[in-house]
């Protein structure tokens, strides 16, 4: 079994310099970084951003779920979970259906709204580097160690150690340890996660597993109705979010 890798982001160590943001742009050949990078947002041109929440800086990027909902709904396997941990996608396979955008509990994948052959974009945790034993560009560029790259087991141990040794410094939980079945990106914070804009009401079980469990326990007709109603709820909720993202994309062109 391949070693799982991940990232640990410590909000208390981040000074908001934006080096991770710039390094990601350069490594992936994306649109030039904004001078006022705190105003940037996730898009086809930006895979990670920094947000300022009352002086606490949080990175927004793909969380690389242990059992990703985006991969489970992709009808052509354009998105896959690699043995090493990163969740990657193949733009040549992507048919632009946007199911992944609707399924993602962290609202991460972004769409090429103005392309004639649109596909989605997101952070791939520098998989081309990780599979060759190298750390991610963002972790390599971080001057304070706020973003750490390592094996997932090592990062989990380090995160728990920091909380145990400095209980007054940290909120007593590690984000990503159990959210939606766990993720390969872990976050330490001095405040509750909802204060950083992170989804804090996610189930501990991976979303694809919840769907399968529900279908296994109820009759097919009832199951279809439940799935339909649940699907309509998520579609309506995500429709509003995706509309905002489209407006952001249109704003970038002005």
- Residues 252, 158: Cα–Cα separation, whole Å: 39
Q: pTM score, two decimals?
A: 0.84
- The string of pLDDT tens digits covering residues 122-177 is 999 999 999 998 999 999 999 999 999 999 999 999 999 999 999 999 999 999 99
Q: What is the mean pLDDT of residues 77-100?
A: 94
Count of CA atoms in the C-beta half-sphere (13 A) of 158: 19
Task: Give me the pLDDT at residue 251, please.
Answer: 62
- The string of pLDDT tens digits covering residues 65-83 is 999 999 999 999 999 999 9
| For residue 211, pLDDT beyond 80 | no
Hey, how many other C-beta atoms are within 10 angstroms of the C-beta on 123? 27
Q: Could you state, in order of their start, the residue ranges of all structural domains in the chain? A: 1-254
Distances (CA, A) of 78 to 97, 126, 165, 179: 11, 17, 42, 24
| For residue 204, pLDDT beyond 60 | yes
- Averaged confidence pLDDT in the chain: 88
Q: Name the band, by pLDDT with cuts 50, 70 and 90, for residue 209.
A: confident
Strands (E), 69-184: 79-81, 87-89, 110-111, 120-121, 147-151
Six token digits for residue 48: 């990670």
| For residue 212, pLDDT beyond 90 | no
Q: Could you tell me which of 159, 107, 147, 119 has the C-alpha nearest to residue 15?
A: 147
Task: Give me the pLDDT at residue 215, please.
Answer: 43
CATH of 1-254, one of 3.20.20.140, 3.30.70.20, 3.40.50.300, 1.10.10.410: 3.30.70.20
Terminal Cα-to-Cα distance of the chain (whole angstroms):
48
Quick one: residue 45, left, alpha or beta (phi over 0 = left, psi -120 to 50 = alpha)? alpha
């Amino acid at each position: 079994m391949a070693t799982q890798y991940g990232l640990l982001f410590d909000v208390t160590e981040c000074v908001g310099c934006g080096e991770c943001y710039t390094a990601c742009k350069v490594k992936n050949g994306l649109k030039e970084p904004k001078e006022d990078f705190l105003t940037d947002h996730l898009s086809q041109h930006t895979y990670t951003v920094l947000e300022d929440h009352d002086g606490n800086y949080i990175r927004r990027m793909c969380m690389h779920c242990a059992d990703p909902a985006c991969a489970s709904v992709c009808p052509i396997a354009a998105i896959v979970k690699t043995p090493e941990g990163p969740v990657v996608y193949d733009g040549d396979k992507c048919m632009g259906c946007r199911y992944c955008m609707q399924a993602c509990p962290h609202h991460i994948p972004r769409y090429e709204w103005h392309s004639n052959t649109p596909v989605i974009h997101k952070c791939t945790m520098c998989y081309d580097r990780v599979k060759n034993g190298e750390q991610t560009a963002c972790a390599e560029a971080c001057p304070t160690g706020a973003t750490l790259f390592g094996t997932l087991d090592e990062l989990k141990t380090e995160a728990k150690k920091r909380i145990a040794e400095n209980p007054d410094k940290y909120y007593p939980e590690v984000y990503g340890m159990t959210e939606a079945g766990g993720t390969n990106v872990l976050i330490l914070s001095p405040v509750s996660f909802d204060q950083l804009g992170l989804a804090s009401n996610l189930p501990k079980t991976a979303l694809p597993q919840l769907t399968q469990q529900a279908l296994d326990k109820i009759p097919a007709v009832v199951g279809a109705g439940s799935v339909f109603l649940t699907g309509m709820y998520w579609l309506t909720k995500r429709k509003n979010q995706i509309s905002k993202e489209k407006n952001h994309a249109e704003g970038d062109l002005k």
